[in-house]
Amino acid sequence: MTECVLPLTDDPRQVMTLDLTLDGDPFHARIEVRHLPAPDLWVLSLWDNANGELLLNQIPLICSYGEINDLAAPFRHLRDGKGVGSLFVIRATDEPTSENPGKSNLTQFKILLGDTICEP
């Protein structure tokens, strides 16, 4: 299994490009993680940087608490059926200050992007 822990800070807008291998296929990703202040929520957008196609648009980053909560599962049909792998938010500390990432505690969580780990 190939996975990448996104290198994040508490900066309210973060943009990165990553060269990944998702399910055996090379994938050049552009990722934007933004904080939305009104709901105090972080969202993630994902582009195929090779062709500029927006694949995921402002997906709320909701934590997986011992459950399989693959945020990318509804998007398995994208990229000609290759999907965008699996996306998880997990706790990086034993007791984060909130249930899901908020404005000042994004670094208390890890965001993992990698191979598809569960099929529908």
For 92-110, the pLDDT digits (tens) are 988 899 899 999 999 999 9
CB 49 within 8 A of CB 31: no
**CA proximity to 41, closest of 109, 116, 113, 114:** 109
Q: Looking at the domain assignment, is residue 120 inside a domain?
A: no
Structurally, how many domains does the chain consist of?
A: 1
Q: Looking at the domain assignment, is residue 102 inside a domain?
A: yes
Residue bearing tokens 């996104």? 6
Angle made by CA atoms 92, 95, 97, in degrees to the nearest 5: 95
pTM for the predicted model, two decimal places: 0.91
Q: Looking at the domain assignment, is residue 96 inside a domain?
A: yes
Could you tell me the residue range of the domain that residue 14 belongs to? Answer: 3-114
For 27-83, the pLDDT digits (tens) are 999 999 999 999 999 999 999 999 999 999 999 999 977 677 899 999 989 988 888
